[in-house]
Copies of this chain bind each other. A is one copy, B any other.
Amino acid sequence: MSRSLNLAVIPGDGIGTEVVAEGLKVLDAVLAGADVKVGTTTYDLGAKRWHATGETLPDSVLEELRGHDAILLGAVGDPGVPSGVLERGLLLKLRFELDHYVNLRPSRLFPGVATPLANPGEVDFVVVREGTEGPYVGNGGALRVGTPHEIANEVSVNTAFGVERVVRDAFARAQARPRRKLTYVHKHNVLVHAGHLWRRTVERVGQEFPDVAVDYLHVDAATIFFVTDPARFDVIVTDNLFGDILTDLAAAITGGIGLAASGNVNPDRTAPSMFEPVHGSAPDIAGQGIADPTAAVLSVSMLLEHLGLTAEAARIVDAVAADLGERGTAKRGTAEVGDALAARVTA
């Protein structure tokens, strides 16, 4: 009995299209032996579409996307699009509309990979970043714009419902890992209302997971441990903005955003989840065939894992580990890396 995967692909702009091509190449290769048929529909969303039509995410496209098993996204944006337009109108709109409340960002320092840290130790953690609340809700506004009396507010909205579901997801992930450790990160000594909601929620939900060890760090202190002792982390759960900041730092210490994959996950499967490299469209290196597609390939692995194809997902991670271990600091082209990974997952 064959299975079929119905994927929506949003290559986007700049290096987005380049790395997605390699991701799909590796996807085809890893599924070559398996009895899985992959169908892909490509959607031209991003800066090019916006320049041409002024559209970011038409309702009809959003509805079509809902009909897929998962979404693979490259990266969107170019310097000609005003800041915030594609972020709010496309990326965040997808995360919010498709209820991607778990923004999953694994960080692993693969052997052979260069890190800015002198003594990183064994780094292998995952950040569970809340994806549908916090300061990302777009609940801000401004008065008297452009005058000396301007006031601009941004509201971080946090609900028991929203915090509890992401915290429970993080506990479950921690429980399934060998170290069973969960660190929650906030700033509850200053953001007392949101912070205390997070704290009470972690304490309450934690009672369902007595075998998971829990600790807390203020977000500022967390950044210290990211550089002095990142090996201490197993699963981290935190709010949308803190998660954004911490995962870029996490990427930096584990070889850079060229290697960092992410999943915008809807664990309840009421809508498709979306997988994307953490990096952006990098207009400065676009079109040269030099972008590292590893993050996109690892995002494909996360996508397969989410869809239950765990053996195939693991084969991709193993291939990446072996590839990084061998190539070390040698620079290779985008397609070259994709070819090498495709060959490894088939072998």
Binding site for B on A (CB under 8 A): 83-84, 87-88, 92, 115-119, 135-136, 138, 140-142, 144-161, 164, 187-197, 199-200, 219-221, 223-224, 226-228, 241, 244-249, 251-253, 256-257
Contact = CB atoms under 8 A, between A and B. Distances in A.
B200 A224 contact: no
A219 B87 CA distance: 15
A151 B220 CA distance: 24
A310 B227 CA distance: 34
Nearest to A116: B227
Given A227-B227, A227-B252, A83 B195 contact: yes
A223 B249 contact: yes
Nearest to A230: B116
Contacts of A228: 116, 252, 256
Given A224-B248, A248-B220, A190 B87 contact: yes
Given A92-B190, A223-B249, A157 B153 contact: yes
This chain: copies in complex: 2
A312 to B, nearest CB: 31
Contacts of A192: 83-84, 88, 138, 140
Sorted nearest first, the 5 A-B pairs with minimum C-beta distance are A220-B248, A150-B160, A223-B249, A152-B193, A140-B193
Contact of A197 (B117, B152, B249): B152
A256 to B, nearest CB: 8
Contact of A223 (B87, B155, B252): B252
A177 B168 CA distance: 50
Contacts of A146: 200
B159 A150 contact: yes
Contact of A244 (B144, B157, B220): B220
B155 A154 contact: yes
B135 A191 contact: yes
A321 B220 CA distance: 26
A92 B118 CA distance: 36
Given A116-B119, A147-B160, A253-B227, A190 B88 contact: yes
28 contacts: A83-B195, A83-B196, A84-B195, A84-B196, A135-B135, A135-B154, A135-B191, A138-B192, A140-B193, A140-B194, A141-B193, A142-B196, A146-B200, A150-B197, A151-B157, A152-B159, A152-B193, A152-B194, A152-B196, A153-B193, A154-B156, A154-B158, A154-B193, A156-B156, A219-B244, A220-B249, A223-B223, A223-B248
A156 B153 contact: yes
A253 B223 CA distance: 10
A42 B140 CA distance: 43
A166 to B, nearest CB: 14
Nearest to A117: B116
Contacts of A147: 160
A187 B136 CA distance: 10
A238 B117 CA distance: 25
A149 B164 CA distance: 11
Contacts of A155: 153-156
Nearest to A248: B220
A201 to B, nearest CB: 9
